[in-house]
Amino acid sequence: MSQSYTRTAIALHWVIALGMLIAIALGFYMTNLSLSPFKLKLFSWHKWLGVTIFLLASLRLVWRLTHPAPALPDTMDNWEKQIAHAVHVALYVLMFSIPLSGWLMSSAAGFPVVFLGLIPLPDLLAKNKELAAMLKQVHFLLNMSLLALVGLHVGAALKHHFVLKDNVMAQMLPWLGRGKSK
C-alpha cells in the first residue's frame, strides 16, 4: 500500500470538495430568490456543477479503485479505522446520490437538465409534482448529511494533525511536508 495519495487523487479530492461546497451554497442562495432570469441562470449553474461533480466522482472512483489509498496509522484502533472507512464510503455514496437526486428532482418537476447549456440530458422520470416535492426533500437531506459528514471528516483530519501529530492530513495537503505525493 502506498505511503501517500497520488497528485491525481489529491486534485480530484479538492476539486470535488470545492465543487460540492459551491453547489450547496448556491443551492441555499438560489432557492430563496424570487423567480427571475437570474434565478433560472443560477439553477442552470447549480445543475452544471452537479453533473460535473458526478462525472469527476466517477473518475475519482475509478482512480481510487486502481490506486489504493495509503494505510491508516497503526496507532488507530480497529473501530476508528472502521468508522473512517464508513465515512469515506458514505462520502462516495453522497458524491453520486446528491447529483442524481437533483437530476431526478428536475425530471419529476418537468425542468430539463442541459449540461453547459449544450448537452440535453434525458429525463429520468416522467413529470410528477408530488414525486418532485419528495425528491426535493431527499436532495436537501442528502446535502445535510454531506455537511455533517464533511464536518466529521475535517474534524478527524484536524485531530490527526494537531492532536495525534501523524501524517494523515499531510497525505492530502502535501505542502504540510510530511506526506509525499506521486
Residue 181, domain member (yes or no): no
Residue 182, domain member (yes or no): no
Contacts 24+ apart (CB under 8 A), 23-30: 23/49, 23/50, 23/53, 24/143, 24/146, 24/147, 27/143
Residue 65, domain member (yes or no): yes
CA dihedral in degrees (13, 63, 70, 19; nearest 10)?
A: 10
Residue 2, domain member (yes or no): no
Contact between 145 and 89 (Cβ < 8 Å): no
Provide the pLDDT for residue 174.
78
| Global pTM exceeds 0.75 | yes
Q: How many domains does the chain have?
A: 1
Provide the pLDDT for residue 2.
62
Residue 55, domain member (yes or no): yes
Full domain range(s) for residue 93:
7-176
Provide the pLDDT for residue 177.
65
Contact between 90 and 144 (Cβ < 8 Å): no
For 53-94, give the DSSP string.
HHHHHHHHHHHHHHSPPPPPPTTS-HHHHHHHHHHHHHHHHH
Residue 1, domain member (yes or no): no
Contact between 98 and 143 (Cβ < 8 Å): yes
Residue 146, domain member (yes or no): yes
Residue 43, domain member (yes or no): yes
For residue 119, the one-letter residue type is I
Tens of pLDDT along the chain (182 residues) come to 567 899 999 999 999 999 999 999 999 999 999 999 999 999 999 999 999 999 999 999 999 999 999 999 999 999 999 999 999 999 999 999 999 999 999 999 999 999 999 999 999 999 999 999 999 999 999 999 999 999 999 999 999 999 998 988 888 987 876 444 43
Cα–Cα separations (whole angstroms), residue 172 to 9, 26, 27, 57, 78: 9, 26, 27, 17, 22
Provide the pLDDT for residue 180.
41
